[in-house]
Amino acid sequence: MIELAAALGHVERTASPLPPRRCRLLEARGAVLGAPVVADIDSPPWDRAMMDGFAVRDSDFAAVGDGVVELEVAVDLAAGDVTGIVVRPGACARIMTGAPLPEGADAIVPIERAVEDTARAHAGSRVRLHERGFRVGQHVARRGSAFRRGQEVLPAGTRLGAAAIGLAAEAGATHVIASPRVRVAILQTGSELVPHDAAPGFGQTRNSNGPMLAAAVAALDAEPILQGIAPDRPEHLRAAIAQSLAADILLVSGGVSAGDLDLVPGTLAACGVEQVFHKVRLKPGKPVWFGVLRRPAGESSTLVFGLPGNPASSLVCFELFVRPALQILAGRPPGTWHRRRIEARLIATAKAPADRPAYVPCRLVQERSEWLADPLPWTGSSDLVGLAVADGLLALPAGAGVLEAGAGVEVVVLDGEPGVGVTPARGPDAGRSDG
Ligand code: AMP
Ligand code: MG
């Protein structure tokens, strides 16, 4: 059994970024660029109208100051229309947002500045425009004002969020060189397990870990590959594990403790997976197993996590151990590897176990500049009811005993917006802790 910090050190040293490769822009959300995106066009590619109104010549307004200018409408231009017409002095074009400015025109006077009912003036009639404080070139996005052809619009290292994907699309990148989506095989073991869409018979348990871990993986922009359930039978388990080792990361839940049918560590070893650690001084999550299948040079390894079968333990281990491994493989910076930790003040008592550091679901409430942590009723490693509505995990040091309300604690912040959750549904035995 090793300490949490040592275990995390092992994970961080064993994981390394997957080499960037060419991938479709449409599949690159969340990926980190391995090479810059370079624009293949100027943007805008031509002078673009940014308002609905009239494309005019600066010189027709410069002379008039704040007075009314009457112009001949030479042409109507909707977005997508182009024209060979040149706007001469004393003329203008009726234009819609997104259309290219016709030659001769320099600025847009918005439709709202047309006086009386001349706003309806189309090609062939006259419009009277009253634009106070006319600015040269107003409401026009000049060609290349956003970026130029050949310009690096996104540097290597950029994480592709929605705006970056949009910019890459604008710049003409149908494909990008980026960290590939990390493929995570998710395998459940246990002869008692039935699929989550089945009604469990007596002695059977629904597979909640599969959907739960798939959601946790997807939330990190990685690709979950559900491998289903393997019973506690060596030959079945071995076949399922061998197949799942094609992924970048394999999560096997269940069968990693010390029971007779906890076959996972032995089967992983038989499949060539080298153990890095087994058992961490931690509650919940003590049985967690970590190893690596190394391959010949040039081929990437597969990281393997044996997660405890109990769902809350499984998820806590995912958050602590799998998350940093996945972020590292995805090429993301160290600041993203672990969940944020904050200092908070307890608003109810919490009991730390004597022998192991504990992670206990809690609610977070912000009061002025301070975070308050309210431990949720929680029965332990199999209990998802509290965890499902938690904002954070109280990190309780081993041997700290009973921490009274008012004591300072560290909290691992989970997904979502702290302090806006619902009240957990509870059975009659809530609050008893045996995890
Ligand atoms: P194990 O780690 O295999 O000893 O399992 C510990 C507990 O977790 C047992 O009660 C199992 O039935 C339960 N368990 C194991 N795998 C799952 C799963 N995929 N979904 C829900 N419960 C599970
Ligand atoms: Mg089991």
The confidence score (pLDDT) of residue 427 equals 62
Atom of ligand 1 nearest to the CA of 207: 20
Atom of ligand 1 nearest to the CA of 208: 20
- For residue 189, report the distance from its CA to the centre of ligand 2, in Å: 6
Distance in angstroms (rounded) separating the CA atoms of residues 55 and 137 = 10
- For residue 208, report the distance from its CA to the centre of ligand 1, in Å: 9
Instruction: Tell which residue, 333, 338, 335, 342, has the closest CA to residue 362.
Output: 342
Mean pLDDT, residues 396-401 taken together = 94
- For residue 205, report the distance from its CA to the centre of ligand 2, in Å: 11
Instruction: Tell which residue, 400, 287, 410, has the closest CA to residue 354.
Output: 400
Instruction: Tell which residue, 376, 372, 337, has the closest CA to residue 359.
Output: 376
Q: Which amino acid does the sequence have at 206?
A: R
Mean pLDDT, residues 395-412 taken together = 96
Residues 6+ apart with CB under 8 A from 342: 364, 371, 392, 410, 411, 413
Q: Kindly tell me if the per-residue pLDDT of 429 is higher than 70.
A: no
What residue's CA is closest to ligand 1, atom 11? 309
72-103 CB burial, b ≥16 within 10 A, e <16: ebbbbbeeeeebebebeeebbbbbbebbbbbe
Distance in angstroms (rounded) separating the CA atoms of residues 193 and 204 = 6
Any residues with Cβ below 6 Å from ligand 1, and which? 188, 190, 192-193, 205, 207-209, 253-255, 257, 259, 308-311
Query: What region does 72 belong to: left with phi over 0, alpha with psi -120 to 50, or beta?
Result: beta
Ligand nearest to the CA of residue 256, numbered in listed order: 1
Q: Summarize pLDDT for 170-207 with one digit per residue, the tens.
A: 999 999 999 999 999 999 999 999 999 999 999 999 99
Domains of the chain (ranges, CATH numbers): 4-14+181-336 (3.40.980.10), 21-43+146-178 (3.90.105.10), 48-141 (2.170.190.11), 341-413 (2.40.340.10)
**Burial (CB count within 10 angstroms: exposed 0-12, middle 13-18, buried 19+), residue 425:** exposed
The confidence score (pLDDT) of residue 393 equals 97
What residue's CA is closest to ligand 1, atom 16? 309
Distance in angstroms (rounded) separating the CA atoms of residues 157 and 369 = 34
- For residue 233, report the distance from its CA to the centre of ligand 2, in Å: 11
Range in 63-67, 114-118, 135-139 the model is least confident about:
63-67
The confidence score (pLDDT) of residue 435 equals 37
What are the residues facing 129 on neighbouring strands? 69, 114
- For residue 280, report the distance from its CA to the centre of ligand 2, in Å: 19
Q: Summarize pLDDT for 361-372 with one digit per residue, the tens.
A: 999 999 999 999
Distance in angstroms (rounded) separating the CA atoms of residues 242 and 304 = 12
Helix (H) or strand (E) holding 193: strand 193-194
What are the residues facing 22 on neighbouring strands? 177
In Å, the largest CA–CA distance within the chain is 94
Atom of ligand 1 nearest to the CA of 382: 8
Pocket test of ligand 1: the residue of 256, 310, 385 to mutate, having most ligand atoms within 8 Å of its CB, is: 310
Query: What region does 36 belong to: left with phi over 0, alpha with psi -120 to 50, or beta?
Result: beta
- For residue 314, report the distance from its CA to the centre of ligand 2, in Å: 12
